[in-house]
Amino acid sequence: MAASIASGVCLLLILFAPAWAAAQGQPPGGQKKLVLKVEEAVKRALKVNDELKEAFAGVDVSRGKQAQAEGAKWAQLEANIFAGPSPVSELTKDGSTDGTIQSSSRVDDPVINGVFGRAQILLVQPLYTFGKITAFREAAGLGVQVSEAGVDKKASEVVLQVQQFYYGALLAGDVSGFLDGLREELERALRKAERQVEAGSPAATVSDVYQLRAFLAQAQTKMAEAETGRKLARDAIRAALKLEQGVDFELADKALEPAKVDIKAFEAYVQTARELRPEFVQLRHGIKAREALVQAAVADQYPIVYAAAVADIAQSTNRDESELPIITDPLQHSQGGVILGLRWHFDFGITRGRIDEARAEQTKLIHKQDFADVGIPLQVRKAYLDLENAQQAIVTTEQAYRNARRWLVSAAANFDLGIGDVRELTDAFVSYSLFRVDNFRAIYNQRIALANLTFATGETVREFPARP
């Protein structure tokens, strides 16, 4: 008797785990009916996920930086146009002197009776920058690829999360349905035991009745917990898919079924991860981008050779224009031309500090890549072993629960005929419950292990592409 009660306590622990394993999430309820396969749920989540939209915005930011870097190779136009009051200044000719300035206005006593307008225009075309512009363009292009890999990374996380919610809801539903069937069998056995006790039959005792009642109460409690887990998992799906208030949905799959999978060699999965995993893609492009930024910082030590076209035009209402090139009136003139120039910036330590900073940032990514070279294969290894274990567990737990079911049928038949006792019946109930729930969990674990392996290898990017 004590052994049966102890087994019942174990059953409580086993049944409790799957009830909450499915849960996570929040949100709202029903009206239009949607029937969702896991693939459809994933695709919808990818369309509405806010973090994924943020990642796409990050790509746009990187493309904006790329446009700036690409534009640096072209000529840049700067115009400065302004106007203001103009002091009078007249240019007269007296026969002996051509271009003598005569004016009734003085600096300390100006006579302002007009206005002026002036336009300064500078068109500069970089000719040679010692590789600075080329390096910035390369870094910006690689930055776009890093951001796009960031989208893939976030999309892979969303896919894995939705799969966990979906299969978790199925697990909780299976456990809830199983417990409901178990409850009916327990109620029937309890009624039989109560009749035997009332009739004074030695096949059942008052203690047996109490034990069956306690066992039935446990099953009812765990059934309620499993149903709560199912509802929470459905709420998590609703939140992930942003289903509107009042939109009802159901899962296309009515029960958990093992996935058909042909497990490849472990090394093949690691190789796939090195090619596809978004983190590896980000690191490869990121290290190259940082290298380009180092080159740009080094090039900043050298001058920029450029050609420029300049124009400076000023006109006023009360000033004459001088014809002498030695005299330039800032408020009345027309000048322009084409020049070749050299712009060189000097400082004492700032540029060197920028070079050191750029190299340190590149070194950080190199070390992060070294960590990923170890960590990601380990993550793949764990998912790989979990999948192998789950595959084996499905087979062994199925054998176990089928045999336990036969035992339960035999014990129940003996109990009905009055040749069996409650102790054997409850032991059979406990064994059957444990092994059946273990089988549900093994199937769930296989589905999740496969999802984790797909995530760890980067195959999710191929199966559910988030980018066009």
State the average pLDDT for the chain. Answer: 87
Q: Which two tokens stand for residue 50?
A: 């806010």
CA distance 169 to 178: 14
- The Cβ of residue 247 has, within 10 Å, a number of other Cβ atoms equal to 16
Residue 90 and residue 423: Cα distance in Å, rounded?
124
Exposure b/e, 125-152, CB count within 10 A at least 16 = b: ebeebbebbbbbbbbbbbbbbbbbbbbb
83-102 mean pLDDT:
69
What does the pLDDT read at residue 197? 82
- Indicate whether 106 pLDDT > 90: no
> What pLDDT sits at residue 25?
39
Q: Which residue has the tokens 């060699």?
A: 265
Owner of token pair 């990818």: 46
pLDDT value of residue 12 = 36
Counting runs of H as helices and runs of E as strands, what totals does the chain give? 10, 8
Q: Is the pLDDT of residue 11 over 50?
A: no
What distance in Å separates the CA atoms of residue 412 and residue 16, rounded to the nearest whole number?
Answer: 25
User: What is the rounded average pLDDT of the residues 275-285?
Assistant: 97
- Provide the pLDDT for residue 352: 94
Q: What is the pLDDT of residue 283?
A: 97
Q: Which residue has the tokens 């590149």?
A: 362
pLDDT of res. 415: 75
Between CA 237 and CA 41 the distance in angstroms is 8
For residue 4, pLDDT beyond 50: no
Helices (H), 323-349: none
Q: pLDDT by residue (tens digit) across 372-398?
A: 999 999 999 999 999 999 999 999 999
Question: What does the pLDDT read at residue 10?
Answer: 39
Residues 6+ apart with CB under 8 A from 293: 135, 136, 139, 358, 361, 362
Residue 182 has pLDDT above 70, yes or no: yes
Higher pLDDT, 98 or 399: 399
Tell me the per-residue pLDDT of 402-422, one tens digit each, with 9 for 90 and over. Answer: 999 999 888 888 877 777 677
Taking only the tens place, the pLDDT of each residue in 188-204 is: 888 888 887 888 877 77
For 246: left if phi > 0, alpha if psi spans -120 to 50, otherwise beta; the answer is: left
**Taking the CA of residue 388 as centre, how many other CA atoms within 13 Å lie in the half-sphere pointing to its CB?**
10
Tokens of 14: 């086993």
pLDDT at site 111: 83
- Looking at per-residue confidence, does 289 or 193 come out higher? 289
pLDDT value, residue 430: 85
Every domain of the chain and the residues it spans:
2-82+134-301+349-463
Query: What pLDDT is stored for residue 327 in this prediction?
Result: 78
Q: What percent of the chain has pLDDT over 70?
A: 90
Considering the chain, what percentage of its residues have pLDDT values greater than 90?
65
Q: What is the mean pLDDT of residues 356-371?
A: 97
Note whether 401 and 436 are within 8 A (CB): yes
Residue 319 has pLDDT above 80, yes or no: yes
Winning range, highest mean pLDDT, from 14-18, 84-88, 229-233, 392-396: 392-396
pLDDT per residue over 44-68, tens digit each? 999 999 999 999 999 999 999 999 9
For 2-82+134-301+349-463, which CATH class? mainly alpha
Predicted local distance difference test score (pLDDT) of residue 103: 64
Mean per-residue pLDDT for 259-284? 96
Over residues 173-195, mean pLDDT? 86
Tokens of 15: 């049944």
User: What does the alpha-carbon distance between residue 236 and residue 171 come to, in Å, rounded to a whole number?
Assistant: 14
Contacts of 171 (CB under 8 A, 6+ apart): 18, 21, 22, 256, 440, 441, 443, 444
pLDDT at residue 408, rounded to an integer: 87
Q: Rg for the chain (alpha carbons), in Å?
A: 40
Confidence of residue 255 (pLDDT cuts 50, 70, 90): very high
How many angstroms separate the CA atoms of 441 and 358, rounded?
Answer: 50
Say whether pLDDT at 298 is over 80.
Answer: yes
